[in-house]
Chains A and B, each alone.
Chain A
Amino acid sequence: MASSIAITASLQRACSPHHVTKKQQPQARPARSMGTKQETHVVALETEGPKGLNIAEQEAKFGFNAGSSTTTSRDAKDDDEAGSGLDTEPSAPKFSDERWKNGTWDLNMFVRDGKMDWDGVIVAEARRRKFLEMYPESATNQEPVLFRSSIIPWWAWMMRSHLQEAELINGRAAMVGFFMAYLVDALTGLDVVGQTGNLICKAGLLVTVMGVIFFRRAQDFDSLRKLADEATLYDKQWQSSWQDQDAGDGDSGRGGKKI
C-alpha cells in the first residue's frame, strides 16, 4: 500500500514541476548567466519542515548562500570557489566534493558507525544535482559521470521521504473513514458490519480512498485536469482533419494550446 502511495506521490511530483517550470525559469535564468554578480541573488528556500509536501517548489528562488550549509561534511574548497564566484569572473564554479571521485561517489566514505549511510549519499547527490542545475558544467570525456542513482537501495528512499507522506495519507484516510462510518450510521442505521455489506457504501469507500490519494492539495484538481487534457490533445490534433470532412470551412487555427 505504502509503495503504491509512494508511486503516486512521485507521479504527482512528476506532474507538478512541469506546470511550475515556466514560473521557475525567469528566476533561474539570471542565476546562470556568467559574469553577473552572484551575491545579488538571495536564497529564500522555504521548506515545510520534515514532511516532503513541499509547496516551496513553486516559490523557491535558486540562489547562492555563501557560508551556510545544511550538509554535514562539506569541502572547504566549495566555500572558496563560491567566494571567488563573487568576482565577476566568466568561469562558473565547478562542483567538487571530497567524496566525489572519478565521476562517482566513493561509497566507502559514507560509512558511519560501521553501517552504510544512504541518507548521506542521497543528500550528497541532491546537492550535486542542485549545484549543476545552477552552474551547468560541460560534460567531458575525461571525467565522465558514472554514478547511477539505482545503486541506492529502495528502502533507503522509503525510509527517508515516502514514509512520512504515507503516514499523512493513512492518517487522513483513517480520520475520514471513522467520521464517515459514524455519519452513515447516524443517517441510515447501518453499523460498520452492515456498511461493509452494502454496495453503495463500498463504492463510496473506493471513491473516498481514491480521493484521498489523488487530491491531496487544492491544486491537484487542476493538475489532474490539465494532465487529462494534455493526454488527449495530441489525439485531437490528429483527428481534426477527419472532423472537417463534414464541416464547411471548419475550424482554422485549432492548434492554439501550447504544451
Chain B
Amino acid sequence: MASISLKTFVGLRQSSSDTYNSGHVFPVKHLPAQPASRGLRIVAGKFSPKVTGRNLRVAVVGGGPAGGSAAETLAKGGIETFLIERKLDNCKPCGGAIPLCMVGEFDLPLDIIDRRVTKMKMISPSNVAVDIGQTLKPHEYIGMVRREVLDSYLRERASASGATVINGLFLKMDAPKGATAPYVLHYTGYDSKTGGVGERRTLEVDAVIGADGANSRVAKFIGAGDYDYAIAFQERIKIPDDKMVYYENLAEMYVGDDVSPDFYGWVFPKCDHVAVGTGTVTHKSDIKKFQLATRLRAKEKILGGKIIRVEAHPIPEHPRPRRLAGRVALVGDAAGYVTKCSGEGIYFAAKSGRMCAEAIVEGSENGKRMVDEGDLRKYLEKWDKTYWPTYKVLDVLQKVFYRSNPAREAFVEMCADEYVQKMTFDSYLYKKVVPGNPLEDLKLAVNTIGSLVRANALRREMDKMSV
C-alpha cells in the first residue's frame, strides 16, 4: 500500500519525502504520516499517484438519468468513461415529472417535455378539492416526460461527449488488490453478434459509479445495506379525448386512507394518456385495493378509459446506510435519493450523478491522477450540504400531513392558502428551501395548527357516531 506523504499546512510534521512530491503545498487537514488506511481521513487525491500513459477509467453502471448525466460530466472532464446499460430502450414506470430547474441545469431541449403541468388539484379524503397553481408565473411549469425519451437523450449526449455506451448487464465486480489496482467488472455484453444470450465480458476500471437503480447490484457488492422502500403501482389509461382535455395541463393528487395509508394516489397526464397510480410503504400487499380506490375516486374523469399498461416499481424511502466504499459511489435511486412526501427522484438522480462525476473529475485533475475514497466523499459532503434541508422539510411534511385522514384534510385545506402555494412551488421548481416572510410564516404556522385541530376535532366527532 503506497504511503502518502504531504507537507501539512501548519508544518507540524515533516513527512519523509517520497516519489509524489509534486511541490504543491495544499492546505490540508493535519494528517498522520503513517500509511493512511483507506477511509480514516479525507485525503486529497491531489497527492495520489499520477495515472501514467492513459486517463482515469471510470465505469458508470446503469444508464438512467443518474448514469447518463454522470457519464456526460465524466467524459467532458477528460475521463475515459464506460456506461453500462442493460436495456437501451427501457420504458420505465415512473411519474415522469421534472422540475423547471432541471431543464435549465441540464440543457434539456424543450421537445423532450410532453406536457407542461401548470395546475394541480389536491383532493382530500372527503373530496374537498383545492386547486393550486395560481401563483405560478407564465414561464413556470412542471414538465412531464417520457422516461425512455429522457434517458436515451442523456445517454446519447454522454456518448457524444466521448463516453462509451455498452449494452450489457452488470453481473459482479472484483475488489481491487491494492490502493491503485483496478476494479474488474464482469458483465454480459449484448450486441448484434451475441444476440439475446449475450457474452460474458470483463472490464477494468479505476472507479465505479453505481447508478443502477433501486435494486442496485453495485450496492449489494459494496455492502451498502438496505433501505425501506415504497411500492408505486401505476396503470396507464387511455381516456377519451374530451376527458383528456381536462388533464391538458393539470395533475391530480388524491389523499386518503382508502387511496394509500402513507402516500398519495395520483392522476398524471402523459403524452396521450393518463397515468393513474398509488403507492405505499407499510401496506404493500393491499396495493391493488388502493389502486381500485384511486380509480374509484377519479371515476367520472377517467370513465371510458382503457388500461394500456400496468406497471409497478420500488421507490426508496431514505438513503442506504453506506453510499460509498472505496472507489465505488452510489448515485440516484441506488443511493436512495428520493424525497419523501412527493416521491420525486429524477432530478435528484441526475444531479447526484453529475455531482459525483464532478468530484471524480476534480479529484483526478481531469483524469490525470488516481482518485480515492476521499475524493468521492467530497461528493457526499456536497450533496448532503446542498439538499439535506430539502429532504428534511419534505420528511417533516410527510410525517405531519400523511399520518391520518384528519391530517390529510388539514393538508388539503392548507394548500388553499396562497402563501403555501408560492412557497411550495418555489421550493419544488427551483430546489431551494427559501426562508419566506417571517410574518407570513407565523400566520402559516397558526393556520396549520388550526387546521389540524379542527380536523382532529371532527375526527373525534366522527368516532362518536355511527352512520
Contacts A14-B406, A45-B465, A258-B282 given; indicate if A245 touches B39 (C-beta within 8 A): yes
Given contacts A7-B449, A129-B125, A230-B399, contact A149 B455 (CB under 8 A): yes
Once the chains bind, are B404 and A148 in contact (CB under 8 Å)?
A: no
Interchain nearest-CB distance for B338 vs A (Å): 12
| 4 other A-B residue contacts (CB within 8 Å) besides A6-B453, A133-B125 | A126-B459, A133-B256, A234-B392, A254-B321
The smallest beta-carbon distance between A147 and chain B, in angstroms, is: 7
Q: Mark A3-27, 1 if CB is under 8 A from B, else 0.
A: 0001100110110011001100100
Which of chain B's residues have a CB closer than 8 A to the CB of A123?
461, 465
Pick the contact of B282 from A22, A160, A242 — CB < 8 Å? A22
A234 to B39 CA separation, bound complex (whole angstroms): 24
**B residues near A128, Cβ cutoff 8 Å:** 126
Specify which of B254, B388, B392, B458 lies most central, judged by the most chain A CB atoms within 10 Å of its CB. Answer: B458
Does B123 lie at the interface of the complex (its beta carbon under 8 Å from any beta carbon of A)? yes
Q: How many residues of B contact A (CB 8 A)?
A: 79
**How many angstroms from the CA of A148 to the CA of B458 in the assembled complex?**
12
Q: A18-B403, A133-B405 in contact; A148/B413 too (CB < 8 A)? A: yes
- Do A255 and B261 touch across chains, with their CB atoms under 8 A apart? no
Q: Is B24's beta carbon under 8 Å from chain A?
A: no
B465 contacts A252, CB within 8 Å?
Answer: no
* A115→B282 CA distance, assembly (Å): 47
Looking at the assembled complex, report how far the CB atom of A245 sits from the nearest CB atom of chain B, in whole angstroms.
6
Q: Does A130 contact B (CB under 8 A)?
A: yes
Binds A, one of B151-159, B163-171, B218-226, B346-354: B218-226
Using Cβ atoms and an 8 Å threshold, which residues of chain A touch B223? Answer: 249-250, 252
Does any Cβ of B come within 8 Å of A140's Cβ? yes
Interface: A202 (CB within 8 A): no
Taking a contact as CB atoms under 8 Å apart, the answer to whether B226 and A237 are in contact is no
Contact between B458 and A131 (Cβ–Cβ < 8 Å)? no
* Contact B413–A253 (Cβ < 8 Å): no
What residue in chain B is nearest A245 (Cβ atoms)? B39
**A interface residues with partner B (beta carbon < 8 Å):** 6-7, 10-11, 13-14, 17-18, 21-22, 25, 28-29, 32-33, 43, 45, 47, 52, 54, 56-57, 60, 63-65, 68, 70-71, 122-123, 125-134, 136-142, 144-145, 147-150, 152, 154, 157, 160-162, 230-231, 234-235, 237-238, 240-242, 244-246, 249-259
Known: A25-B261, A138-B297, A138-B298. A145 touches B458 (CB 8 A): no
Separation in Å of the B275 CB from the closest CB of chain A? Answer: 17
Q: Assess whether A255 is in contact with B228, with CB atoms less than 8 Å apart.
A: yes
Cβ B391 vs Cβ A238 within 8 A: yes
How far apart are the CA atoms of A145 and B125 in the complex, in Å? 11
Q: Chain A residues near B453: list those with CB within 8 A.
A: 6-7, 10, 157
5 cross-chain pairs, A with B, having the tightest CB-CB distances, nearest first: A126-B461, A138-B299, A18-B403, A17-B404, A254-B321
B413 touching A150, Cβ below 8 Å? yes
What's the nearest-Cβ distance from chain A to residue B184, in Å?
21
Q: Does A136 contact B258, Cβ atoms closer than 8 Å?
A: yes
A60-B406 Cα distance, complex, nearest whole Å: 16
Is B466 a contact of A28 with CB atoms below 8 Å? no
Q: Is the CB of A161 within 8 A of B457?
A: yes
B227-266 at interface with A (beta carbon < 8 Å): 227-228, 246, 254, 256-259, 261-262
- Does B442 interact with chain A (Cβ within 8 Å)? no
Instruction: List chain A residues, Cβ under 8 A from B340.
Output: 234
Interface residues of B in 196-228 (CB under 8 A from A): 223-228
From known contacts A25-B261, A52-B460, A133-B462, infer whether A150 and B450 are also in contact, taking CB-CB under 8 Å.
yes
Instruction: Give A125 to B129 CA distance when docked, in angstroms.
Output: 16
Shortest beta-carbon distance from B411 to chain A in Å: 12
Q: Which residues on A sit within 8 Å (CB–CB) of B452? A: 10-11, 14
Q: Produce 1/0 per residue, B383-407, CB < 8 A to A.
A: 0100010011001000110011111
Chain A residues near B377 (CB-CB < 8 A) = 245
Interface centre among A122, A240, A241, A245 (most CB of B within 10 A): A241
- Given A13-B460, A139-B254, A259:B228 Cβ within 8 A: yes
Output the least CB separation between A70 and chain B (Å).
5
Assess whether B296 is interfacial by the CB under 8 Å rule. yes
Most A CB atoms within 10 A — which of B224, B286, B404, B450?
B404
Q: Are B458 and A238 in contact (CB under 8 A)?
A: no
- Is B88 in the interface zone, CB < 8 Å from A? no
How near does chain B come to A9, taking the closest CB pair, in angstroms?
8
Q: Is the Cβ of B300 less than 8 Å from the Cβ of A47?
A: no
Known A21-B404, A64-B467, A255-B321; contact A139-B461, beta-carbon cutoff 8 A: no
Residues in chain B near residue A241, CB distance under 8 A:
319-324, 380
- Give Cα A246–Cα B40 distance, bound, in whole angstroms: 6
Flag if A65 contacts B467 (CB, 8 Å): yes
Q: List 24 A-B contacts (CB under 8 A).
A: A7-B453, A10-B457, A14-B407, A14-B452, A17-B405, A21-B403, A45-B463, A54-B460, A63-B466, A129-B125, A133-B405, A138-B297, A139-B129, A144-B129, A147-B128, A234-B392, A237-B321, A240-B321, A250-B225, A253-B225, A254-B226, A255-B226, A255-B227, A259-B282
